[in-house]
Structure 1
Amino acid sequence: MVTATRLVGRIKFDDTLLRKDLKVLSELPLLREQYDEFGSGTWINHSLWNRSGEWTDTQYSDYNYPAIRTQVGATTTYLSKIIEECFDVDHLRMARVRNLVNGLVIPHTDFLELSEEKDRYVRILIPLETCIDSYHTEEKFGVFRMRKGDIWILESTLPHGALNFASDNRRILSLDFQYADIPAPHYSLIFKDHSIRDEAIPPALVSRTQLEPEDLHDYLEQLSTSFNDKDDAEHILVKLSKVHLRFESPVSDIYKNLTKVAKMTQRQDLVEHCEKMQKFYIGSRVMNERFPLRKGIC
C-alpha cells in the first residue's frame, strides 16, 4: 500500500452540525488515556468506533472485523454520518477524535507493537477544529499545518509528532483502516465517496532554516545545565521539539539530541533513560508496554 504522508482531499463540514458534536465531546468526563505517555500537556482522545463498541476502550489492536460504533459514536451523529457516507467502514478499525491543547504529541512511531505487516495499515487525519499555532511533523515530509477539513494520509510507521502552542482546541478525527484481505491494496480504497478525494490541494508546509552545528551545540549545553533527573527529560524533549519546528532536521534527531544533552551531564543513568525513550517511542516495543512520564506542559 502506498501510504506516504500526503494531503489527499477535503471535506466541507456543516459547521452547525459539527459544533453540536464537538459540544458533546467537550462535555464528556475525562478518562485516563491508554496512550497517555505519548502526550505532554492536554491530550484527550475519544473513541467513536473501535473493536468493542465501548467508548472507554482507547487501545488500538489487531482484529479482523469492522469497527463497532461506541456510545460516543452513537451520540455524535454528524461525525458518524461522515464516517459511514465517506469512508470504507468494512475495513475501519478505529475512529477517534483527538484534542491537543497547549501540548505535544511526543514524537513516536505507530504500530511497532502490532504483529501484522505494516503496509496493511493506513491512518488518515481530518482536522475538525484547529488553530494557527498547531503543527504536525513527519520524518520525511517535514513540518506542516493541517487545515480544517483536510484529509491527510499519515505515514505513521515513520517517526512523527504534533504540537499546539495555543490554549485553543486542536481536534482531529483519526481513522485507522486495515487491509489484510486485499493483495497490494492502494490507499484510495478508504474512500466510499470519491468526490472528497483531491490530491491537487496544496499542503500548508512550514518553511524551516538550517541550524549551524555550533549553535546547536551551544543550545544542547544550555539544556544540559537543567537536566538534573529523569523527570526533566520530558521538558527537554518538548524544547527540542520546538527547535525542530524552526530548523531543518528529521524528527528522529530530537531523540539523538536528547541523548547528547544527557551525555553532557556525565550522568550514565540519564543517558540510559534517554536511550530507553528513543527505543520505546521510535525503535521497538511490545503490546501493553508502558513508559511512564511525568506530565509536563509546553
Structure 2
Amino acid sequence: MTVGASKNHAVRGVSLLKSQRLAVLPIDSYDLDSELSVVDRHEYSGEYDALTFGAWSCHVLANGSGAESDIAFRPHSDRLALTELGKQLPGIMSLVTGHFSLDRLQWVRIFSLRDGIMAPHVDFLEFAEPGTRVQVPLRTSEESLHSENDIVYHLRRGEVWKIHTTVPHSARSTASTARLSLCLDFSDAEEPVAIRNEAPATDSIRVIERPEATEAEIEELVDSGRTMTRESMRSDFRRFAALHYERHTPASAVFDWYEEAARRSGDAAVAAKAEAFRRYCIEKRADGEAFHW
C-alpha cells in the first residue's frame, strides 16, 4: 500500500533522509540488457539468507581476491580484482570505471531482489571503521523501495545513492522481475566519493507516503505470535517487516512487534531467538558471526 508522496510529506521526508542522492548517471548510453540477463542466471551461494526473505541474491563482480565465492563484505587493502562474473560484464564494469575512481573501491557487487524483502539491519557493526556504500539501480520499478528509519523512498534507475548504513534500513520489492542494483563499497566513511561525467538530476527525490499504523493493526500482527513456532518464526518475520513499508513506522519497530509476538508464543526458545535476531540485525554483531534460524 504505497502511493505517491504528497508535496509536504516528500519535503519533510527528504529533509530527514540521511542517505544522499549524489548524482545521476547517463545509464541509457550503456547497452546493459544482455549483461543483466547474465546476472539473472548467475548462481548465489546464500551468504545472507538469514537476513533475506523471498528472492534476494548477491553477485560479486570485483573484490580483493578475484573469487566469485568470496561474497561476504569485509574491508581489505588488496588491489581490486575482477571475478569470472565481472569479466563477463564489461559494460557494467565500464559504467563503474567511467564514473568512479578505483583508488578506494574495495567491492563491486550487484544485489538482486524479486518478490522479497530484507530485514531492517545496520551494516558494518562488526568493523571498527565503516566504509562508504553507494548503490546505483541498473534495473528497477516503482515496486522496488528502500527504507531508512521511518522513511521509505524509491531509487530510480541510474541514480547514485550514498546509503546511510549505520541506522536501521532495508529494501523491498514486490515486483516479479528482479530489481538489480549495483553496490560499490569504498574505504573511508568520511571521504567524499568522486563521480565523473554525471547527468543532471531532473526528478525530485521520491519519498513514499504511508498512513500511520493503528493500534488495532499492530495488535492483530503481534497477537499472531500465539501460533508462532520454532519452525515458522523465520517465515513469520516477513509479515512484520512488510508492515513497515505499508504504514508510517520506524524500521526498528519491526523488532519490537516481532519480539512481543514471540513472547506470546509461550515458547522461551522462540522468544530468545527473536531477541537474538534483533541484536544481530541492528545492535551488535561479531566479525564473521552468522545467524542461524
Q: How does 1:140-289 map to 2 (within 5 A)?
A: 142-179=151-188, 185-187=190-192, 190-193=193-196, 195-196=198-199, 198=201, 201-221=203-223, 223-227=224-228, 229-289=229-289
After the TM superposition, which parts of structure 1 deviate over 4 Å for at least 4 consecutive aligned residues? none
Correspondence for 1:25 among 39, 58, 78:
39
Structure 1 pair 14/226, CA: closer, same or farther in 2 (3 Å)? same
Count of aligned pairs between the two proteins? 277
Q: Which amino acid aligns with 2:194?
A: F
Correspondence for 2:27 among 5, 9, 13:
13
Q: Which amino acid aligns with 1:231?
A: E
8 Å CA contact 1:66, 1:90 repeated in 2: no
Q: Is residue 138 of structure 2 the alignment partner of residue 128 of structure 1?
A: yes
Matched residue SS, 1:14: helix
CA RMSD of aligned residues (A): 2.0
Q: Which runs of 5+ in 2 are unaligned?
A: 1-16
TM-score, structure 2 length as denominator? 0.88
In structure 1, C-alpha distance between the alignment counterparts of 2:234 and 2:124, rounded to whole Å: 22
Correspondence for 2:94 among 42, 62, 81:
81
Q: Which amino acid aligns with 1:158?
A: V
Matched residue SS, 2:227: coil
Partner of 1:95: 108
Matched residue SS, 1:108: coil
In structure 2, C-alpha distance between the alignment counterparts of 1:171 and 1:147, rounded to whole Å: 11
User: CA deviation digits over 1:109-162, x for unaligned, max 9?
Assistant: 1111123x23xx11111111112222111115x101111111111111111111
Matched residue SS, 1:206: strand
Q: Which runs of 5+ in 1 are unaligned?
A: 294-298
In structure 2, C-alpha distance between the alignment counterparts of 1:59 and 1:196, rounded to whole Å: 32
Matched residue SS, 2:211: coil
Q: Report deviation, 1:226.
A: 2.9
Q: Report deviation, 1:216.
A: 1.5
Q: Report deviation, 1:66.
A: 4.0
Q: Report deviation, 1:26.
A: 2.6
Partner of 1:61: 74
8 Å CA contact 2:26, 2:198 repeated in 1: no
Q: Report deviation, 1:240.
A: 1.2
Structure 1 pair 288/75, CA: closer, same or farther in 2 (3 Å)? same
Partner of 2:4: none
Question: Percent identity, aligned pairs only?
Answer: 22
In structure 1, C-alpha distance between the alignment counterparts of 2:164 and 2:274, rounded to whole Å: 25
Q: Which amino acid aligns with 2:227?
A: S
TM-score, structure 1 length as denominator? 0.86
